[in-house]
Structure 1
């Protein structure tokens, strides 16, 4: 029997993120059920089920070796290693192997390109907050758009937005992703600038301003994020605030990568890769 796959999320108080994380875990469970692989998901903090509960459940079902895969686009944090060491102390028979983070896999870059295309084709622009569910959430709201306005890709800038970190290497990785994305999927565009949601500059307004000064007539903000939630809302809110002061600049915001089959393909490949390294 193959070892189970444990998908590990950082954790968030945001219900939208938790719901999409849960749907993705279910997708993987359905995909790998064909090969009798158990799939579970747990969070490092701020959400349930916690990592400790998920590991305990797997051990209770008779699993003593697992593949732990951080469901993250960035580098693995030290918190994950410390958390898994604590689980090994709680369950002395437990052994685990890590799967590589998803990172700038070519299929992830292709998904970003799809979200870019969708945003470029959408004539609605994010210009207001409207209620969505239990609390206000930024949504793309229809606004008057000059349908005769023709903007070439060479007049369009892209701002790729990562989360931001206190780790310089993690921030440098986002810059690397921006360059890879430009050269592989967005070379016809004016530029691909890098921005961060928080912690480190430049923020989303800084990326937008950079594009404006380069002469862009349109800018598409592309979040380098897996799932919707509070982080995405902060990206959109920063873009909205900047756009309010620059009405002549056409700003559009793409969606996150989201729960989808191509992302599941990447995760399954990481899982199989981890198994091969064991043998």
Structure 2
């Protein structure tokens, strides 16, 4: 390990490299600050260290300047570099102690009291985690779906909804909302179709950080939607919606099940299993699999595979949870393929979506988490082992 000469040291900058800050660009902030120090030949005066979570996730990315005792919220390169010269705009200062006097921006400093007394009547919470969409309509679908589930959820539970990315609140804010309402137990339930990077790494990272910050709080983690009988009922409902008779024979029709795609082998394997099971439940020429990104076959390759089976009709069946950019792309693809393959009758079905039957799955996942029978707890254990062996930096 390096041992720096600290004889001329005057300042020590602690740069948060916790999961939330890393997801918000802390690696860039770290490099920008260090570059500014080098450019100004201040290496012997200013020392920098990466830290784990500093407990101010809402202010990501966080940098702490000692011995001045100033906490900064850094959202862009200009602010990052200005820290080196101590010329940071006041609105980016979270908290500061100067000359023995505490200075604070009252609207910025408020957060969770580590030693607060829980007085609420509800002390257990369920936190549903949606993926999040760049299109707000997709995020509204998540919130509405959770609202529709409320009558089926134990009224003694605090219920909150958050998102992995692209929308607010994020997971740390969701956890904070639960704790601020008095939760001593937080059951985190992912609203995610397949078990891949988000459910194996990103959500566990947030939970593990929360456990360090709040050791007195019990956290459990539910499993993803995965392969469940209701999944196939929902898919068949989407076919019925386009007047497809699921009980009839369709010797000239192929179903093309289209997923988002993943680099995770387990997720891809599960997707193929879903295609195969659906194929066994329908009397069609074939059920083929395709992916809109990352994995193959691509959607066009999937169309061509249907043609190889001798299909004269193809139903594009998107396996997406929410509306958004991908569904817009599906519409354009359908029009393009119809022109390119005029011999095919191509129909685009509605996406999987937040069908009422999905409530059954998520309520089951919640019950498993609360009873300590969720496979999600194994995911937390696997994540800890992964971090020990490889480390972890969260980049969306």
TM norm structure 1: 0.83
2:140 is matched with 19
After TM superposition, the runs of 4+ consecutive aligned structure 1 residues lying more than 3 A away are none
Contact residue 125 and residue 158 of structure 2 kept, 8 A: yes
2:377 is matched with none
Corresponding residue SS for 1:166: coil
RMSD between superposed Cα atoms in Å: 2.1
- Bigger drift between 239-248 and 1-10 goes to 1-10
Following superposition, the deviation at residue 213 of structure 1 comes to 2.0
Do structure 1's residue 102 and structure 2's residue 220 form an aligned pair?
no
Corresponding residue SS for 2:320: coil
- Bigger drift between 196-205 and 88-97 goes to 88-97
Following superposition, the deviation at residue 117 of structure 1 comes to 2.0
Following superposition, the deviation at residue 116 of structure 1 comes to 1.4
1:256 is matched with 351
2:314 and 2:361 map into 1 onto residues whose CA distance is 29
Corresponding residue SS for 2:251: helix
Cα deviation code 1:147-172 (max 9, x no counterpart):
xxxx9611100001111011122112
Following superposition, the deviation at residue 121 of structure 1 comes to 4.3
Q: After the TM superposition, which residues 112-131 of structure 1 pair with which residues of structure 2 at under 5 Å, given as runs?
A: 112-121=235-244
Shift in alpha-carbon separation, 1:278–1:208, aligned structure 2, 3 A? closer
1:47 is matched with 167
Corresponding residue SS for 1:154: strand
The structure number with the bigger radius of gyration is 2
**How many residues in Structure 1 have an aligned counterpart in Structure 2?**
248
- Runs of 5+ unmatched residues, structure 2: 1-121, 375-396
- Bigger drift between 198-207 and 87-96 goes to 87-96
2:239 and 2:278 map into 1 onto residues whose CA distance is 11
Cα deviation code 1:195-242 (max 9, x no counterpart):
011111111111111111211111001111222222222233223222
- Runs of 5+ unmatched residues, structure 1: 123-150
1:84 and 1:249 map into 2 onto residues whose CA distance is 48
Higher RCO (C-alpha 8 Å, min separation 6) = 1
Q: After the TM superposition, which residues 54-73 of structure 1 pair with which residues of structure 2 at under 5 Å, given as runs?
A: 54-73=174-193
Following superposition, the deviation at residue 276 of structure 1 comes to 2.0
Corresponding residue SS for 2:338: helix
Q: Which of 188, 197, 213 is matched with 1:90 structurally?
A: 213
